[in-house]
């Protein structure tokens, strides 16, 4: 039998728990939701993000009014970076995360249940998830340069 030969390799995405999530003690709750869904943590690290990595990570937003406040916010405390694996995990994690604006994010999602954006210059929406296979490959290389 050769049933498995044509299967696509399992997909990977880059997840960040942003400084608001780490500061509020929500890293465990967020990782719990990822694992409860059935996704697998391939690599996890807690680190202080550099301005260089953040400018490259958020390059698509350079020039927007929220760009500099966003970079500053992302440097306000440690970030938890994770490589998460699973079938259709790029789309699936963004479903778990919910809409970018925590006020609009549906209940049941990470941002809808736990995120805040009132009175803040940057949406403190707890998590980042890659938005395409190309972004995932680029972002995993940026945050985990040693990972095969
Ligand atoms: P994401 O892919 O859902 O994280 O959203 P984007 O890639 O569009 O934006 C990156 C991050 O910038 C978001 O997660 C927010 O933290 C922040 N952000 C995006 N849009 C806005 C905005 O209109 N206003 C503010 N204050 N922050 C924003
Ligand atoms: Mg994005």
DSSP-assigned states of every residue in 98-146? --SSTTTSPTTSHHHHH-B-TT-SS-B-SEEE-SSHHHHHHHHHHH-TT
- ipTM, two decimals: 0.96
Residue 3 located in a structural domain: no
Residue 146 located in a structural domain: no
Average pLDDT on 99-106 reads 93
> Is 100 annotated as a binding-site member?
yes
For the chain, how many structural domains are there in total? 1
Residue 143 located in a structural domain: no
Catalytic annotation present for 55? no
Return the pLDDT at 73.
94
Residue 121 located in a structural domain: yes
Dist. CA 113–CA 43, nearest whole Å: 25
Return the pLDDT at 99.
96
Closest atom of ligand 1 relative to the 99 alpha carbon: 3
- pTM over cut 0.90: yes
Asked if 127 contacts 17 with a C-beta cutoff of 8 angstroms, the reply is yes
For 115, the domain range is 11-138
Which residues lie with the beta carbon below 6 Å from any ligand 1 atom?
A: 61, 66, 70, 100, 121-123, 125, 128, 131
> Is pLDDT of 138 > 90?
yes
pLDDT band for position 115 (cuts 50, 70, 90): very high
Pocket probe mutation, ligand 1, options 14, 30, 66, max atoms within 8 Å of Cβ = 66
- H/E segment holding residue 62: none
Residue 118 located in a structural domain: yes
Residue 4 located in a structural domain: no
State pLDDT tens for residues 80-99: 999 999 999 999 999 999 99
Asked if 27 contacts 17 with a C-beta cutoff of 8 angstroms, the reply is yes
Residue 87 located in a structural domain: yes
pLDDT band for position 72 (cuts 50, 70, 90): very high
pLDDT band for position 63 (cuts 50, 70, 90): very high
Residue 128 located in a structural domain: yes
CATH for 118:
3.30.70.141
């Amino acid at each position: 039998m050769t049933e498995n030969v044509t299967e696509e390799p399992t997909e990977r995405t880059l997840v960040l728990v942003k400084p608001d999530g780490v500061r509020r003690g929500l890293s465990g709750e967020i990782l719990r939701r990822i694992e409860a869904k059935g996704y697998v943590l391939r690599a996890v690290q807690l680190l202080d993000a550099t301005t260089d990595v953040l400018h490259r990570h958020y390059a698509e937003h350079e020039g927007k009014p929220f760009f500099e406040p966003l970079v500053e916010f992302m440097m306000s405390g440690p970030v938890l970076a994770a490589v998460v694996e699973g079938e259709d995990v790029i789309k699936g994690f963004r479903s778990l995360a919910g809409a970018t604006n925590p006020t609009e994010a549906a209940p049941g999602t990470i941002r809808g249940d736990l995120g805040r954006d009132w009175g803040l210059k940057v949406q403190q929406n707890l998590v980042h998830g890659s938005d395409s296979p190309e972004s995932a490959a680029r972002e995993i290389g940026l945050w985990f340069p040693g990972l095969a």
